[in-house]
Structure 1
Amino acid sequence: IERLAPNGAVIGPTFRNDAAAVVAALEALTELPDSLPFDLSLEDGRSVTINPDMVERREETANVSGEWFTPHVIEPAFGFDRIIWHILDHAYTEGEKEGEDYNHLSLAAGISSIDCVVLPLFDKGGMPELATEINATINAVPRLRAQLDSSRSIGRRYARADEIGVPWALTVDHTSLEDGSVTVRRRDDQVQVRAFVDEVLEHLRNNSLDSLF
């Protein structure tokens, strides 16, 4: 390495009480001047002029045992929890619907923990009983998971299902009691179609309910 070796015989008499500060500043230099004389900044902010007779330019060999540096790269950690977090963050949106907060988790049907919710339109007239039966039928199928929800208004129940990422809502209404069909609601655009329970069940098995729309 190249450094400027202080000449104490000249620096001492020239700078007197500041000689030690000048020597320390010279030894702390990381970039050497191209030519002499040059201005040297001291630790207290003052500047002094270093003449050619005050220093000697030397090349020395030094043993470096370690070196610290900051890499200019990003080193991400792709653990499983990080992947799940990014999926949820990408799918989750917050908004407003009919003057109320409306949160929406747009998970793909294949990764949603609940395949569908079964909702009786009213908590009377045989609708709860039929909804319970349909819910049990779906849950009896391996790898399918349905959830029954009968509390509060139908709009509020739709919103609750959307918030936790349920892709489909099956609504049991008066027509369901007559012919066994249900209203199938798609979470992401709220479009609804009617279909018979057996048909819905088959599409749930094959993850193909979108084909009804």
Structure 2
Amino acid sequence: MRAWRQYTEPRNEVRDVLIPVSAVIGPAFKGQAGEVVEALSELTDLPDDLPFDLHLSDGSSVQITPEMVTRRTEEITVHGEWFTPHVIEPAFGIDRIVWHILDHAFTETEKEGEPYSVMRLNSKVAPYDVAVLPLFDKPGMMEIARDVIARVNSVPGCKGEMDSSRSIGRRYARVDEIGVPWAVTIDHDSIEDGTVTIRRRDDQKQIRCSVDDLIDTLSKGDISILF
């Protein structure tokens, strides 16, 4: 594939050209003679030796022998040039964008001698905003956890999920691995005074606050103001 680039002004250039010998080319190529002559006139890089293969516009090629052309140096007026386009195709498919985000967010550290993975996703692309984790699957804690998750999900633009299976440490690791920015733990004190523990994913710092304060800061769009 090629394209024509028109110059803003004609240029005078000294070039080596191959002048077709019509008396030889006509009988040799018959119906293709016109295409051969045109292709010869468009050559910019002349071959060092003859014979050579000349490529025509229809994709075919013919062999040019020494008796078919005369090499000459001429000053010619050039109005443009043929060139082969080189296309740079930026890839912005959704799959590549997602892989790029995951690659930049993933970190692996060590915790208690074991590899520990954290997906430091921006909260706008995290799978959900808040993980609600009752310390034990017991009456009292589960009711509070269900109430907290309902209030979290009532905040416009916020999404929470509850996880009550396995140890609290394993659940922290699980939400860190998938990139959930905040974990809210319901424990014995939650039953007594209505407070919860909020854990920040990126540095694992924890604070304690009331459920009302949690929901209020979620409504303002930034839990980090509590830290």
TM surpasses 0.5: yes
Q: 2:164 aligned with 1:150, yes or no?
A: yes
The superposition leaves residues 183-206 of structure 1 with CA deviations (integer Å, 9 ceiling, x where unpaired) of 000000000000100110111121
What is the aligned partner in structure 1 of residue 184 from structure 2?
170
Counterparts of 1:1-213 in structure 2 under 5 Å? 2-3=16-17, 30=45, 57-59=71-73, 69=84, 71=86, 74-124=88-138, 126-213=140-227
- Larger RCO, structure (CA 8 Å, separation 6 or more): 2
Partner SS, residue 118 of structure 2? strand
Aligned length: 172
Q: Which moved more, 1:117-126 or 1:146-155?
A: 117-126
Per-residue CA deviations over 1:103-144 (Å, capped at 9, x if unaligned) read: 211112233231100001122252222212211222233322
Find the aligned partners of 1:84 and 1:210 in 2 and give their Cα distance.
Answer: 25
Give the structure 2 partner of residue 16 of structure 1.
Answer: none
Structure 1 length-normalised TM = 0.66
SS at match of 2:124: coil
Aligned-residue offset at 1:150:
0.6
Contact map agreement 2:184 2:199 (CA 8 A) in 1: yes
Cα RMSD over matched residues?
A: 3.4
Q: Output the TM-score relative to the length of structure 2.
A: 0.63
**Contact 2:16–2:46 (8 Å) recurs in 1:** no
| Structure 1 unmatched ranges of 5 or more | 6-26, 34-39, 44-54
1:40-78 deviations in whole A, cap 9, x for unaligned? 7x99xxxxxxxxxxx9642489xxxx956364x844133
Q: What is the alpha-carbon distance in structure 2 between the residues aligned to residue 31 and residue 207 of structure 1? A: 69
SS in 2 for 1:183: strand
| Structure 2: distance between partners of 1:125 and 1:32 | 89
Q: Percent identity?
A: 53
Structure with greater proportional strand content? 2
1:137 partner amino acid: R
CA distance in 1: counterparts of 2:122 and 2:70, whole angstroms = 73
